[in-house]
Amino acid sequence: MLKKIALLVLCALPISLMAQDVKLGHINTQEILSLMPERVTIEKTINDLQTQWESELVKMREEYYAKIKEFQDKQATMPESIKTARQSEIAEIEQRITTFNQTATADLQKKQQELFTPVVEKVKKAINEVGAENNYLYIFDLSTQSIIYQSPKSNDITPLVKKKLALK
């Protein structure tokens, strides 16, 4: 009986020691980012910028629709050369609207990234500190389904797999 207990303790000891070393965690960074106080200011800045772009776009569209209406009203009495010139003018306005819309979208995305980058870095730093302080081996981000923290103690088995597959 004593041998069985000793054997059980010897078997359980490595498992309990191993369980203490491997500490995994998870986080939802989107939830954290949504709670950051800076988010309100950033969203207001982005919304203000978007409103400016949209008001300019509305002006351009009004000009476009006015040109189309004018063309439709007068096209029956226009000489062919003027029709062609007006059609070119309308096509040019369409192109300007399209280009403006693409530029506005790109600028808004760039501004959003520019404003959110320091906040994201702040969150990453906090996650790294928590991971190191609490001896986590890995912390998984549920919102992106990726590993967001990796301990220096983790093992990279890439060389072993390369060796197994005879890769250089």
Q: How far, in Å, CA of 77 to CA of 123, rounded?
A: 66
The arithmetic mean of pLDDT across residues 1-24, rounded, is 54
pTM, full prediction: 0.67
Q: How far, in Å, CA of 82 to CA of 95, rounded?
A: 20
Which residue has better confidence, 66 or 155?
66
Q: What is the pLDDT of residues 25-39, one digit of tens each?
A: 888 889 888 898 999
How do the domains of the chain map onto residue ranges? Answer: 23-164
Instruction: Quote the tokens at residue 147.
Output: 């590993």
Q: Is the dihedral of CA 6, 10, 11, 12 positive or negative?
A: positive
Q: What is the pLDDT of residues 126-160, one digit of tens each?
A: 988 998 888 888 888 888 888 888 888 887 777 87
Q: What is the pLDDT of residues 106-117, one digit of tens each?
A: 999 999 999 999
Distance from chain centroid for Cα 35: 16
